[in-house]
Structure 1
Amino acid sequence: MSESMSALDALAAEELHGLTDGGVLDRIAELVAVQNRVAAELTRTVRRADTTQAAERDGLKSMRSWLIGHTRLAPADASRILRSGRALEHFPALSARFAEGLVTAAQVNVVAEKVGESEVARAAEQGIDLAAFDQVWAQVAAESPHQSLVAAVQAFEDALDPDGPEPDPTEGRRLTIATHADGSVTGRFDLDAVGGEKVQAAIESIVQADRPRGDERTRAQQNADALVQLCDNQLASGDLPILRTVKPHVVVGIDLDDLVDPATGARAASTGFGATISAARARWIACDASISRIVMGPDGTPLDLGRHHRVVTPGLRRAVDQRDKSCVFAGCGAPSWWCDVHHLVHWLHGGETNLENSALLCERHHTKVHHGFRVERDPGGRWRTWRPDGTEILIGPLMA
């Protein structure tokens, strides 16, 4: 082991700045192979310790608890190593490729997650030759993309239960949503293959249709934005089920003083699901919304319900759609059904709700114009956009 550590010390001491691009890539490939070989040896050694119950020497019940406590591995990583060691005893060809550095620990885990002791026993009962699968998996893992091995292992599962009933997809679907103290939301979902395909197709359609120049967000950020847009489109369509005589919609409550105050007003408004947002965000939502006035008594009891007022009427919305066609922010062009109607001069400050004072803006750019950017329609009917510092955003060659 001391020789291995010395070799790693020597690698760490090497100067990388003098390497060519090809040299750097070759070095990476070699390091991945070394990493695979080390992972294989770790797996083999942990399996030996597992079978001999070596953890008892340090007073621990299992090698999993020993790995977590003594080497500070995450519980999931400790479980993966143990699971892989047990599975590889049944697959010598895959084990050999792992030891040679041609297969990754993640690939071995693909097999180990699906083929445990019970699956091996069922295969023996049905006369399924594990050696044949072993040879195929070893070759696929060493020569093909990661996902190809996933498909190859699925073939084994199908062979174990070729005539089994199709599971009810709705039973395996899960969606959990958690709202945090600051109003932000996190979630997790698990879907069957067909349900997942539908969700991915819908989100991908929005991601690929909205790829503005200079967008440097991660794919995860783009996916999240697309999910919000997907819900926004559906809410706007009015086709969702009616809840207690009311169509589902975003609800925001805010005091009038906070609404008209131009300050940001942190935590001044609340949403229907209990999130707390700023007054600035509430004003942004109010640009294209329905407004209801409720006069509250000192004890919090509603004293007067004012007339419901639609700020942007359906007729005005159609007129703005017809004129602008898409988001008017320079360089965007997001379709009209992704856009809000923005008041150039907010109705809170005397701006009229009419065609001349309206502009189509997508969610991203509607936010921008409420935080320093500005759009304006010149006498010739051309939309122009200015940055917070007063400089204009120009698309294409500079014009005199």
Structure 2
Amino acid sequence: MESGAVIDVMRTAAQTLRTGDVRDKIHALQDLHHAIDAAQAALLGELEASKEFELDGASTLNMWVRNQLRMNSGQATALVRGAIVLRDLPQVAEAAFSGQISAAHVQAFVYGLRHVGLDPMRQHQEVLLEVARNREPGALIEAVKHLKAVVHPEDLDDAYERGMDKEDIAVDALPEGWHVTGFLNTVTGAKLKKVLESVSAPRDKDDTRTGSERRVQGLDDLLDSILGNGLPSDKGVKPHLSVFVDADTLEAAAEHVKQTTENPYASPAPMRDVEPATLAGHGAIGPNLLMYFLCVSDFTAFLMKDGGGARQAQILNAGRGRYQPNLLQRRAVIARQQGVCATPGCNHTHLQIHHTIWWSHGGPTNLDLLIGLCVRCHTLLHRGRLHITGNALDGFQFTNRTGRTLRKRRRTPYRQAA
């Protein structure tokens, strides 16, 4: 164990607690907490190697942790697995001992070792550490999952097939009503989520219903609509699913699936490393599911480029000639945002197209001045709780009603969308 780094953090914390302001003290204690967690995990690794836990009558390190440190099984398992990460990923260990990353971040690397593999995690260790130092553990988990999707795309299809095998839904009558239980596969679940989002948004500022109440009422309204007139639409556009895929990924997936169908009993060659296709609101999907969507969906290709796209935008500009964006403009906006609401921190996928320079204020229906917002964020904007400036070429800026800037969403450019 790198005890020197931990001791340095302790000294810094002690000095800061004597002389620092309250914010510095909080940061110092947080760093110290992270460093102590890492030191404890590393010492557990040494105890595992020496087998000295047997001196206390424990047959496994996990049992020793439960008995001696009075932790539950889940906490003990997390500590033991963290020790493995600090042994196998030295740069992660260095960051942990110096208090730069938390035990929760270390657990994200645990997930990576188990599901991605040691060699890819070592290869991308520096990039993942940069995420860990600057983002919360959830962001690191998403980065590791993205790496898993790139390195092992076939696992995505395996997960989809396992979901197909155990899918079920039951609606059972009870004296008080109906009890709904079940498990849905990736596609069916995404469809249900899309539909519920579209019908359960708050009606207005006075809508005090809870989220569960709005979902149930939305489902009831939806059933009425289906029985009477079909699915609801938003300005003539019905709710739909969006899949985003690079041209290179589409080509690689087609080659991979062709190989597996032509030689079903042979072990297919690994699919080359490409960006995985993404189902909006769900995440990465595998090549076989991508080919299924391609078979049953409309397909629209967009040429997109980092840092701009003005020439392409002009092709889809309508100026003041029409108020409602046409279908191609809508699809272009959705593709630009990868199918989710543009407001930082919002992940809703049922979008309405908004003129950032309002039509009533003379704004044109131009692609670089159109943005996709969910129903809730669109309502907040027109209530003055959310403000948007800028354009798609230079970037949109989001502020709340007090003028505070909302953190921008990191976007990955996609060159082709389906």
Does TM-score exceed 0.5, indicating one fold? no
- Which structure has more relative contact order (CA 8 Å, sep 6+)? It is 2
TM-score, with length taken from structure 2: 0.41
TM-score, with length taken from structure 1: 0.42
Larger Rg: 1
